[in-house]
Every structure is written in C-alpha cells, then in structure tokens.
Structure 1
C-alpha cells in the first residue's frame, strides 16, 4: 500500500528535524493525536521510522527497506529526478539502467525518447519501456531476485560486460559524505560495477534520503560518476568531493526542473559535458 501525502510529508519532516512529536504533528496537520499515532505506527511498521516516547524519529539507516515501500517513499521527488536525468540523455544512443525505484522513474521519463538501445537488469524497466516503438530493449540474463525483479549474479555481470554504451544510469541505497556510493547486496553491486565500467557517461540518481543512510558494500566512488541527480542540496563534504572529481550536480525543484532543466536534451551520441 502506498504512503498517504501526509505520511510522505511526515517522513520529510523527520529527515529535516530528526524527531517528530505526536502533539506537534497533530497541530501541524490539524488532526487528532490518535490519527497521528496511527500514521506513525504504520510508518514504523514499514521500517521507515522508529517510535520514541511521544513521537518518532528516522529509522536506523543500516537496514534495507522492502521494494514496494521504497516505491512509495518520495515518489514525486523520484519522478522529478527521473525527468531531470532523462533530460541529460540524447535520442539515438545506447544506455544501461540498473535496479532501483528511481531508475524506474528514469525509464518512465525516457518513453518519449527515440532510437534508444536500452540494456537493463531490471524487469520493471522492461515493463515500463516495452510499449515504446522506437526503443530496442535487451534484458540481462541471470538470477531473478524475487523481491524486486532485479537480475543479479555472475551471469548478469558477464552479460553486461559484452557492451560498451554511451550512458549508464545507476541508483544506490546510500551515499557516504566522502563520496562512496553504497548498497546492501554484493550480487547487485557486482552488476552495478560492471555497468559503470562499460559506460562512457554515468548518471547517479538518488533522492535526499540516501545521504542519511548507510550500507555495507561499496559500488564505486564519485570519480567513476559524471552526473549526480538529486532532489536536495547534498551535504557540504559530498559537494566538495563532487567538485574534486569533476562531477556535475543537478538538484531538482518542485516545478520539475533540475540545474539543467528537464526539457533540455543534448543532441546526438556525443553528450560528454
């Protein structure tokens, strides 16, 4: 079940303030404390918040969250990120999209592009793009992870290594302020590394919550990334790491635009910036 608009706003408030008060939320949303408690219990049951006396706080960032729950979290923000990332990608090029709820939003935004060759290890991306008449879709082989439709393992790695594409779009479970890009499943990480290694340009898509989480497995560092698309200004240390490594940061806004503008699209295959 998707989160309600109020629950999404409560999660954003928890990220911003670090702690939520039942009484304060009841005043802010003009509802009863009982209604707020039900919302908090639901969010805590999904692993998104942790109950404390009188309220709740962000959940421990070291645990992964179920895929359907991740889909519901910050949905509008991810859609804006997807549109801004797709605006960086030209028509008539090849690209790889990996596993993730945000990369699925990139796929949604690519539906109007023309003459793409899209390689993916994400069954959901294939479902999104299958009706696009000018897109050639190539699905990696390997073990299908039942929880999210991702294809992982050494067979998927070997498959990806057959290609050299113009663009790659990857997601992550967590971003360290020192520039490390992190995930939970080492099998998924192996595929993500192969994707980065076999792309001329790489876009990292990540909403602001990824700066507040931790995960144990390193995908790569910012030096392997060309663009970061997110929905909030990154922490100062992460931004400095981007500057050090020559990474462009694109921050989306509620009107749907990133730094570059969601409707701008570079021409042709040579889209290095």
Structure 2
C-alpha cells in the first residue's frame, strides 16, 4: 500500500472514529505500528490531523487552513512568486485567479495594469482590487467558505465552465512528478480543475516546500500545467525532473 493510499485510509477511519491509537490504526489497516507512526507524523506536519500521546485525532476543520494562517506561512517566498507571476500578465488579459494565498500575492503587482479582467472565487482578491481603475472582476458564485474566504461548490464549478481565460493562476497543497497535483480538499481541487480546463495557459504557483510532496486528493497530472512558478530554494534535481515533463519552471 502506497503512502497516499495509507494516508487516505487513515483520514477516513479518523473521520469515523474521531480518535485512535497507533495500535488500533495498525490493526485496522494491517500495517506495522512503525509505519503508522511515520505516517501520522507526516500527516501532522501537513496539518490534517492532531497527534496525541500514542495515536491521533481528527481536526474539526480537517483539510482546510484559514486564509490568514496560510498567508503568513513562507510570506517572503510568496511575495517573490507573486511578483514573477504578475509579470506574465499583460494589458487586455482575462485571467482566472484561485483563492490561494500565493496567488493573492500577485495583487500588489497587478495594480499597474490599465486593462485586466479577473475571474476569481477569492474574496480577498476582490477586496484588494475592487477599486483599482482598469481592473474588472467577475466573482464566481456558489457556497461561501468563511474560513478560506472563498466560494466553492457545484454552482461555482458551473460558473467557471461558462467562461474562458487566457491564463489561469492556481495553487496546490502538493505537487510531484509521480502523483501530479494534489490537494487537502476535494472542493478546492474541483475549482482548480475547472480553471485548468477553461484556460489556454496554466501557471501553478507554489513555494518549494510543497514540491516533491503529496497531499490527500490526487486530481490532475503534472502535464496539465504549462508553467511552475516557485522560489529559488527548489532543488536542481527536482527542477530538472519537472521540466522533463514539459513544464517550464520560473523562479
């Protein structure tokens, strides 16, 4: 059983039982206690469960991290990535922007454009750019997630499918050559998939800490993106592996 398969099953049984010991997880999944401990540590570092003495427990807000918490993580790298991403936007573009904090970092650098159309599910992006002359915003409709300050759900996906953009700027919780794009949340992954299928070019924005890592939900292959924008801390071997898949890495 692969780590991703084990991860999915661990989260599923924690969702059912709320709290379990290492031995209980070991017995239910037929894997060694040592493997369970390693997996629980990795999942705890991803922020999707809480380690306890001798086991783990479910978080009330299991897969999602509030926007303001994500915004402060690796803030310096996100600002640099946002600046590089914004440099790929030109006057007259229509672009998709998702609700990720790294994508939000583009906003300060988009204000200089004189004509831009943004289609987004992010309330912080709307608040940041709504009064900027020359920028028009199409706010995606659907169910509001107060913690993430974003709109999700089936109606949001249908909204996106009614539009076409020259470029999409999206984030992920994990990306690797083997498992492609991964996320902690199915509802966020569905929004990202809708952006990807309705854009001519796709820019993936993520700091290097998420590259070579896998999250809970696998939703797209690496080849579905055109550009990966990350920080200068990316290991050269990882950069080479990604570019061998036809993805251009920008730093």
TM-score, normalisation: structure 2: 0.72
> Are the equivalent residues in 2 in contact too, given 1:61–1:212 (CA < 8 A)?
no
Task: Give the whole-Å Cα distance in 1 for the aligned partners of 2:179 and 2:105.
Answer: 23
1:89-108 Cα deviation digits (max 9, x unpaired): 11111000011100100122
Q: Which runs of 5+ in 2 are unaligned?
A: 1-41, 49-62
In structure 2, what is the equivalent of residue 219 of structure 1?
A: 219
**Offset of residue 85 of structure 1:** 0.4
> Are the equivalent residues in 1 in contact too, given 2:177–2:212 (CA < 8 A)?
no
Task: Give the whole-Å Cα distance in 1 for the aligned partners of 2:248 and 2:89.
Answer: 14
Task: Give the whole-Å Cα distance in 1 for the aligned partners of 2:221 and 2:131.
Answer: 35
What's the RMSD between the two structures over aligned residues?
A: 2.1
Structure 1 residues 179 and 217: CA distance shift in structure 2, 3 A: closer
Task: Give the whole-Å Cα distance in 1 for the aligned partners of 2:218 and 2:90.
Answer: 29
Task: Give the whole-Å Cα distance in 2 for the aligned partners of 1:220 and 1:235.
Answer: 23
Between stretches 98-107 and 63-72, larger displacement belongs to 63-72
> Are the equivalent residues in 1 in contact too, given 2:177–2:222 (CA < 8 A)?
no
Task: Give the whole-Å Cα distance in 2 for the aligned partners of 1:62 and 1:146.
Answer: 19
**Offset of residue 225 of structure 1:** 0.7
Task: Give the whole-Å Cα distance in 1 for the aligned partners of 2:69 and 2:177.
Answer: 25
In structure 1, what is the equivalent of residue 147 of structure 2?
A: 147
Q: Secondary structure at the match of 2:108?
A: helix
1:34-88 Cα deviation digits (max 9, x unpaired): xxxxxxxxxxxxxxxxxxxxxxx99522625443221111112111100000101
Between stretches 59-68 and 140-149, larger displacement belongs to 59-68
Task: Give the whole-Å Cα distance in 1 for the aligned partners of 2:189 and 2:43.
Answer: 25
**Offset of residue 232 of structure 1:** 3.0
> Are the equivalent residues in 1 in contact too, given 2:122–2:149 (CA < 8 A)?
yes
TM-score, normalisation: structure 1: 0.66
Task: Give the whole-Å Cα distance in 2 for the aligned partners of 1:162 and 1:249.
Answer: 30
Structure 1 residues 167 and 204: CA distance shift in structure 2, 3 A: same
Task: Give the whole-Å Cα distance in 2 for the aligned partners of 1:108 and 1:87.
Answer: 11
> Are the equivalent residues in 1 in contact too, given 2:243–2:249 (CA < 8 A)?
no
Task: Give the whole-Å Cα distance in 2 for the aligned partners of 1:216 and 1:106.
Answer: 26
Task: Give the whole-Å Cα distance in 2 for the aligned partners of 1:134 and 1:143.
Answer: 28
> Are the equivalent residues in 2 in contact too, given 1:120–1:139 (CA < 8 A)?
yes
In structure 1, what is the equivalent of residue 94 of structure 2?
A: 94
Task: Give the whole-Å Cα distance in 2 for the aligned partners of 1:73 and 1:115.
Answer: 31
In structure 1, what is the equivalent of residue 230 of structure 2?
A: 230
Figure out how many residues of one structure are paired with residues of the other and give that number.
195
Task: Give the whole-Å Cα distance in 1 for the aligned partners of 2:219 and 2:238.
Answer: 16
In structure 1, what is the equivalent of residue 45 of structure 2?
A: 60
Q: Which runs of 5+ in 1 are unaligned?
A: 1-56, 252-273
Task: Give the whole-Å Cα distance in 2 for the aligned partners of 1:102 and 1:89.
Answer: 16
Structure 1 residues 162 and 243: CA distance shift in structure 2, 3 A: same
Q: Secondary structure at the match of 1:92?
A: coil
> Are the equivalent residues in 1 in contact too, given 2:179–2:214 (CA < 8 A)?
no
